[in-house]
Structures are given as C-alpha cells and as structure tokens.
Amino acid sequence: MTGSPAHQSVFLRDLRLSTAHTLVTQSGAPGLVLPNETPTHYLQAVIDGLCELSLRDPLTGLANRRHFRTVLEREIDRMARSGEAALLLMLDIDHFKKINDTHGHIAGDIVLQSVARTLHSCVRPMDTLARYGGEEFAIVLPSCQAAFGRSIAERIREAVESTVVRVSPALDLHVSVSIGGAYALQWIRSTTQLWIERADNQLYQAKSAGRNRISIEEQPDSTVSAEEKSMLFGSSYPPLHGEDPSAVTGGKSVGPSNGL
C-alpha cells in the first residue's frame, strides 16, 4: 500500500473482513479454500490466506523478494552446517524495456507471467523461484552439485527462448533471458547480500557477453571475498605468524585448501 500516512490510515480503517476474504479467494492460489464450519476456522483460514499472499508477487504468483531473501538465509544456514552445494541463479529478461515501449505495459506484464510459468516448469519442488524485481527473477537450488549447475541454467535459458509468448491473437513474441549463477560457499556462513552480489556479477557478465546466455561462477571457493574471509577468521585475517586458521572452522580445511 503506498501513499501518505493519511491515505494509509483511511485504507486500514476501511479494511473489512470481506475485503480480506475477496483478496484471498481472488488470488486463486491452490489450498486457499475458506471453510465455513465455525467462525474460528473461517477466521484462521482468512489469516492463513493473507499470510500466504504476503509472500507472493501479485503479478506472477511467484515468491516475492522479501520471502526469497528469507529462503536464502535459511539455505546459507544449512550450507554452513552441512557443506552441501546450493546454486543461486539470477535471471533477467533481455531488452524488456523495448517490449514495454513497443507493445505497451500490458504486453510486458503478459511476458512476465509467461516467463514465470516457463521458469516454474523448469525447477524442482524443492527449489524456490522468485520474482526478484521488475523483470528480474531468482532461483535457489538446494542440493545442486557443481557438475549440474551449468546444464540446469542452460536448460532454463533454452526453455525461455523456445517458448512463444502469445500476447494477443495477432501478436506472438519471442523473449530470452540472461542468467548468472553462483554457488553458496560450503562450510562458510556468508550473507545473502554477498551471495546475491556474486550471482549478479555473473549476470552482468552474461549481459555484457551479448545476452541470451549463461555465466556461472567457475570456482566459488577461490572467489571468497575479503569480507567473507573476515567473517570466517575474524577481523585479524590474515592470521598472525604461528596462528592456525583451521581452529576457527573446527578443523575443516576451508582456508589454505580453498586458496584463501
């Protein structure tokens, strides 16, 4: 809800249960059926429905940016404990402004919805797909070994490229995406921001190299930033002569073997 505080208070004052009911039922999300057995059940279902809606992007139905960052934080926590591989992909529709400028904003919205559906068809139920910004999407793929990342990203790129977007009976569009990817740093508790920055850098590479292509960080271990090193070893990194950095990691050979 936007506008001045005065506007917001008018909206909040006018908010009725029936408005919430309409919001929830119109969202069309599966599982959002409002029971009418008892008032308590009904109220609980409306609240559940609103909570579910607050995690979604209204245009595409995908996870919204806020929810995605929460999922990323959880993934980082899991990586730091389990050392499993996880891949973050950032995707951006190529020349999207031109689509809006040439065919109008509604056509642009239809393209966004179509790309969202295509991406959804490419990921596993355990992956989280989000609309991260205007024409930018993000996917986090837990348990994704480094050997598979490139082929998954390439499959997604091809799926978008080969999907015709029917904007109207007289207008079919072809769109493409550029994709950047970065793996979580295993055994290291990094931050969502640093992980996103690394994937974004790769997205920038894919755009600069001509678009409609992928760029995945080759060796995540060797690109640990200075900030991540200090998270791992403390602000005294590099270690003073005679100190053993592996003591900080409980004996995991994170430092020297990863080229830090």
Ligand X SMILES: Nc1nc2c(ncn2[C@@H]2O[C@H](COP(=O)(O)OP(=O)(O)OP(=O)(O)O)[C@@H](O)[C@H]2O)c(=O)[nH]1
Calpha distance 101→260 (Å, rounded):
47
Please, where are the H alpha helices in the chain? 5-14, 17-26, 39-53, 65-82, 96-103, 105-122, 146-162, 192-208, 226-233
Subset of residues 108 to 137 that bind ligand X, contact rule: CB under 6 A: 108-109, 112, 134-135
Max CA distance (Å), the chain:
73
Residue for token digits 């308590």? Answer: 40
Chain centroid to Cα 106, Å, comes to: 24
Among 71, 76, 92, 228, binds ligand X (CB under 6 A): 92
Query: Nearer to ligand X by C-beta: 94 or 228?
Result: 94
Return the amino acid letter for 11: F
- Contact pick of 75, 94, 127, 228 for ligand X (by CB under 6 A): 94
CA distances to 2, 20, 135, 153, 258 from 238, rounded to whole Å, are 47, 55, 40, 36, 14
176 is a site residue for ligand X (CB under 6 A): no
Stretch that binds ligand X, among 14-22, 68-76, 88-96, 139-147 (CB under 6 A): 88-96
Tell me the closest approach of the beta carbon of residue 133 to ligand X, in angstroms.
Answer: 7
CB of 104 to ligand X, least distance (A): 8
Pick 74 or 207: Cβ nearer ligand X: 207
Phi/psi-derived region of residue 259, left when phi > 0, alpha when psi is between -120 and 50, beta in every other case: left
Site string for ligand X, 54-83 (x = CB under 6 A): -----x------------------------
Min dist. Cβ of residue 18 to ligand X (A): 28
Task: Tell me the closest approach of the beta carbon of residue 129 to ligand X, in angstroms.
Answer: 16
Residues, the chain, total? 260
| Interaction site with ligand X (CB under 6 A) | 59, 92-98, 100, 105, 108-109, 112, 134-135, 207, 211
